[in-house]
Amino acid sequence: LSAFRQREAVSVVGSSNMENDISLKFRQQLFLISENLVTEDVAALKFLCTDLLHLSKLEGVKSAADIFKLLMAQEYLNAEDTFLLAELLYRIKYHSLLEKLGYTKEKVQERLSEKGRISPYRQMLYELSENITSEMLKKITFLLQDHLPKRWMILSALDLLTLLEKQGLLTKDNVKILEDVCMTVSPDLLETIDCYKKGKVLCCNILSSPEVHTAAKLLKELGELPSFCAAKIHKRRCVMLSSEEEGTPVNGVFFFQPKVGLKYMVLEVLVLFSFKNTMKSYKMDGPHIGFCLIINNVNFNSSQRKGSCKDAEQLERVFTWLGLDVRTYTDLTSGEIINLMETWQHVPDHKDRNCFICCILSHGKSGAIYGTDDRLVSIRVLTSHFTAKQCPQLAAKPKLFFIQACQGDKIQRPVYVDTDGPTPDLSSMQERVSLSESIPEEADFLLGMATVDGYVSFRHMEEGTWYIQALCSKLQLLVPRGEDILSILTQVNEDVARRDSPSGTKKQMPQPAYTLRRKFIFPIPMAPPPS
C-alpha cells in the first residue's frame, strides 16, 4: 500500500509539473503576441471585446497583456482553447501572429461559423472604423457636435463609436445615426452598414414546430431572410450554406430554442458573415513581400533627364519602407534592359515573395521606352517576361509596372519643365500602341503609365516628375489607411491632373491598365513614412 501511494504521489507531481510547463508555454505565447501589438492594435482589441468584457474593466487596459488577463479570468481564453485570441488577431488583420497559436488565416476562417464570438454588430462597427479616414472623422465629429460632450477629445473612429454607444445613440438594433452621417460624409460607407442590416439577428415566431426547410421558405417569402441556398441539418441547427442576394457572401445558422409552455417555437436566425468586400485581396502576409526593380535612365547620347535621380531616390525610400527588397539600375541600354528582365525572370527567390514591382524612368514613345542607346524596347516585351509560363514562381501573384516616360511627341518646354520624350523626328513617327496591348492578356498584371498614349509627361529638372512624386506621396499617405493600389492610383491621377506647367498651358493625365483579379493592398508598415 505504501509503495502504491508513493507511485501515486510521483504521478501527481509529474502531472502537476506538466501542467505548469503547459501554463508557462501558454503565457510565453501570450507575452510574445502582446509584445508585437502596438497602441492602435490594443485599442482595436478593446473595442472588439466590448461585448465580452465589462466596460469598466476595459477602461483600465493599458496593454494587450491586460486584455489577455481579463479574457482568462472570464474563461474565454486558456491553454487548451486559444480560438478567441486567434479570431481577434484575424479581425484586426494581424495574420502573421496566428502561427504562434498554431493557426493560419484559412484555419480561422474555417472555424468562425462554429466558434466565432465577435458579434456581427461589433464586426460591422470595427470594419466601418477601418474605412473612416482622418478627414472623414473630422467631418463626422462636426456633424455630431450637438450629441457629443463639449470637452470630449475624439482621437479615433473607435473612440467616437464607443462614445455613441455609451450615450445610447448607437445600438445593435439602431444604427440610424451612423447611416445619416455616412450618407453625408461618404455614401460608400453605407455598404458596410447595409450588409449588417441584411444579416442581423432575426427573431420570428412560427406556429408549431415546422420542418427546417419549411421555416426557411416562409422566412424568404416574408422577406425576412436573404435568398439562401439548400440547407443541411446538424443536430439542433440548420446551416444555410450561402446567399445569392446581391452577391453578398453570407452564412446563416438557425438555432431552435423551444419556449416552455408555448404552442409555438421561436426561431432565432443568427447570420454569421464577413464584412469584407466580395472581392478578395492578394496574399501579402508572407515573410518577404517582394522585389522592386528601379531602372533609372538619366544620360542619353543627346540628352540628360535632369531630376530623374530625385525620382529614383524617392521610389527607393518608399518601396523600402513598404517592405520590398529594392534594386536600382542606372543608365541601361535597350539590350541591357532586356537582359535584366531575363535575369530577374529566372530568379528562384520569387517563389518566397508575394509580388513583383518594376519602375522604369526613361524617355519613351507609344507603347515603348528608350534605352540609353536611343533604341526602343516594347513595354509588352518587358512585361511578358513575367507571365505564369515564363516565370512560374510569380504565377497568380501580382506584377506591378510603373512607367515614367512620354508616350507621344507633342512637346513644349517651359522653364524648369522638361519632357520625358526625345526631340521629335517626324521621319520616324511610329503607330501608337494601345495601352491594353502593353500588358499580357493573362491575369495579375498592373501597368501604371505616367501619361495617356500619344502625350508627353512632365519632369521638373530639380524636383522630379509629376507622376512619380505624386505616386510616392499617395503611397505614403494611403497605404497606412489600408487603401488598395487602384484607389491609390485614382488619387495619383487627381493629383497630377491638378498640376500645371510654369506657363500654365500644359497638363498631364496618368493612366493605369490592369488585369488584377483581386485587390492589391500593401501591408501597413510599422515605421512612419520616410517623408
Does one domain contain both 113 and 128? no
In percent, the amount of the chain with pLDDT more than 70 equals 69
**428 has a pLDDT exceeding 50:** no
Does one domain contain both 397 and 457? yes
Q: Give the separation between CA 465 and CA 453, rounded to whole angstroms.
A: 17
Does one domain contain both 493 and 353? yes
Per-residue pLDDT band at 251 (split at 50, 70, 90): very low
> Is 54 tagged catalytic?
no
Edge-first strand order for the sheet with 464-465 is 417-419, 458-460, 464-465
Comparison of pLDDT for 433 and 375, the residue scoring more = 375
Q: What is the pLDDT of residue 408?
A: 63
Grid coordinates belonging to 67: 486584455
Our CA dihedral for 315, 320, 324, 330, rounded to 10 degrees, sits at: 50
**Number of structural domains in the chain:** 3
> Is 358 tagged catalytic?
no
Does one domain contain both 77 and 163? no
Residue 193 near residue 178 (C-beta atoms within 8 A): yes
Does one domain contain both 74 and 174? no
Comparison of pLDDT for 135 and 262, the residue scoring more = 135
pLDDT (tens digit per residue) in 452-506: 665 555 555 667 788 899 999 999 999 998 899 999 999 898 888 776 655 555 5
* 322-326, 349-353, 402-406: least confidently modelled range: 402-406
Mean pLDDT estimate for the chain: 76
Q: One of 358, 391, 406, 472 is an active-site residue; which one?
A: 406
Residue 370 near residue 297 (C-beta atoms within 8 A): yes
**449 has a pLDDT exceeding 80:** yes
Q: What is the pLDDT of residue 396?
A: 87
* 185-189, 256-260, 345-349: least confidently modelled range: 256-260
Query: Does residue 262 lie within any of the structural domains?
Result: no
Query: Does residue 211 lie within any of the structural domains?
Result: no
**341 has a pLDDT exceeding 70:** yes
Q: What is the pLDDT of residue 187?
A: 83
| Interval 342-346 mean pLDDT | 96
Q: Give the separation between CA 402 and CA 364, rounded to whole angstroms.
A: 13
Per-residue pLDDT band at 266 (split at 50, 70, 90): very low
Residues sharing a CB contact under 8 Å with residue 276, sequence separation 6 or more, in sequence order: 127
| Interval 337-361 mean pLDDT | 95
Q: Give the separation between CA 197 and CA 124, rounded to whole angstroms.
A: 10
Task: Name which of 344, 225, 363 is nearest 302 in CA terms.
Answer: 363
Domain extent, residue 385, equals 288-412+440-515
Say how far residue 136 (Cα) sits from the centre of its chain: 19
pLDDT (tens digit per residue) in 28-73: 889 989 988 888 889 999 999 999 998 888 888 999 999 999 999 9
Q: One of 363, 385, 391, 472 is an active-site residue; which one?
A: 363
Residue 394 near residue 386 (C-beta atoms within 8 A): yes
CATH of the domain at 475: 3.40.50.1460
> Which pTM was predicted?
0.48
Residues sharing a CB contact under 8 Å with residue 111, sequence separation 6 or more, in sequence order: 83
Per-residue pLDDT band at 7 (split at 50, 70, 90): low
Q: What is the pLDDT of residue 389?
A: 85
CATH of the domain at 34: 1.10.533.10
**304 has a pLDDT exceeding 50:** yes
41, 208, 254, 264 from 216: Cα distances, Å: 39, 14, 9, 16
Comparison of pLDDT for 280 and 112, the residue scoring more = 112
Does one domain contain both 28 and 112? yes
Query: Does residue 169 lie within any of the structural domains?
Result: yes
Q: What is the pLDDT of residue 506?
A: 59
